[in-house]
Chains A and B, each alone.
Chain A
């Protein structure tokens, strides 16, 4: 399986600021995803991070609020922009890799609290 790390692991931020979350994988992967898990809720896909092109966003998520970069096959960032308390969530990076079948592996998550 792929080993995935995320930075920061947790943060407390002020309303109106932005936070960039990093996701690093120990091997090249074909697909990378960003999910949000709101308190006490399930996971919702924010977007698919595409290498070398704009991310593909799910309904209800927009690039201005959640800009994503993926400069290579092992790294991606998600920025949560102009934060409000409603953005308090766990943000998880996941990857899918050829040779590992259809399985997605998840990072440990970034726990964000917006005051």
Chain B
């Protein structure tokens, strides 16, 4: 079975500062990794994904994530945040083989960008 731990429930940061949202996963098999964002009163939007290849993944809105297999981590980063980045961020995993499509989500991290 897979599990996902997002290490911070809330991350306050000032506008234009860098931010890192941490995600660790546990799995006995190879996985695919995803970051989704949920803006207030909206559904989930895919930010980026790691399926294979380069461990540094670039996504939309200037976000990127680094897959570290040895540390079983997939931390999300942005060098300079905007007020509009205020949202809930979810890390998720699915198994890569025999993939049923099931996504396991972390508990979410609330990013609060302050002016």
Question: Which residues of A are in contact with B by a Cβ distance under 8 Å?
Answer: 1, 4, 31, 33, 41-45, 48, 58, 92, 94, 96, 101-109, 111
* A25 CB → nearest B CB, Å: 13
Alpha-carbon distance A6/B45, docked complex (angstroms)? 15
Which of under 10, 10 to 19, 20 to 34, or 35 or more describes the interface residues of B?
Answer: 20 to 34
Specify which chain A residues have a CB less than 8 angstroms from the CB of B103 in the assembled complex. Answer: 33, 43, 45, 94, 104
B interface majority secondary structure: loop
* A103 CB → nearest B CB, Å: 6
Residue in A closest to B110 when the chains form the complex, CB atoms: A40
Specify which chain A residues have a CB less than 8 angstroms from the CB of B107 in the assembled complex. Answer: 41-42
Specify which chain B residues have a CB less than 8 angstroms from the CB of A48 in the assembled complex. Answer: 100-102
A-B contact pairs, 29 of them (CB 8 A): A1-B46, A4-B43, A31-B101, A33-B101, A33-B103, A41-B107, A41-B108, A42-B106, A43-B90, A44-B105, A45-B102, A48-B100, A48-B101, A48-B102, A58-B102, A94-B103, A96-B101, A101-B49, A102-B32, A102-B94, A102-B101, A104-B34, A104-B101, A104-B103, A106-B36, A106-B43, A106-B44, A106-B45, A109-B42
How many cross-chain pairs have Cβ atoms below 8 Å apart between A and B?
56
B42 and A108 contacting across the interface, CB-CB below 8 Å: yes
A interface majority secondary structure: strand
Residue in A closest to B6 when the chains form the complex, CB atoms: A42
B12-59 contacts to A, CB under 8 A, are 32, 34, 36, 41-46, 49, 51
